[in-house]
Each structure stands twice: as C-alpha cells, then as structure tokens.
Amino acid sequence: MNELIAILTELHDDVDFTTETGLIENGILNSLDIVSIITEVSDRFDVTIPAEEIMPENFDSAEALWALICRLDED
C-alpha cells in the first residue's frame, strides 16, 4: 500500500492520496496518469491491470486501487 502511495505521489505531489477518494471524479488523474500507474504497478508488483478494469470505481482512491491489485494477484 505504501509503495502504491509512493507511485501516486510521484505523479502528483500535491495530493494526499491516503484520504482522497475522488481521484477520477474530481479529475485529478487523467488517462495519461492512469497508464503511467498501470506501467509502474506492473513493474513493481508484477500485476497486470487489464483494460477492462480501468473504471472510476477502481481508480478513485488509493485504497480501491490497492484492492484491485490484491484481487488481480489472487486470481
């Protein structure tokens, strides 16, 4: 989780990712950010996030994203 926060903070150092729950809804992350995140996640966690999982519910908060990573790792 902390590593994920680190990845996110690298992209936007002015956002508190531990509390923000509207990353997509409030337009903080754009499509280019999302691709960067997916690349980083694949690099560091060895989890591939497929295109169909790219939806606001999975990217709106660090927590949701972490849950997604865990779920994909489980499968």
* Residue 72 in contact with another protein, rule: CB under 8 A: no
| Binds another protein by CB under 8 A, chosen from 5, 15, 54, 64 | 54
Q: Does 39 bind another protein (CB under 8 A)?
A: yes
For the segment 5-34, give every residue that binds another protein (CB under 8 A). 30-32, 34
Other beta carbons within 10 angstroms of residue 42's beta carbon come to: 12
Question: What's the CA gap between 50 and 10, in Å, rounded?
Answer: 22
Nearer to another protein, 2 or 31 (CB): 31
User: What long-range pairs does 33-36 form, CB within 8 A, spacing at least 24?
Assistant: 34/59, 36/11
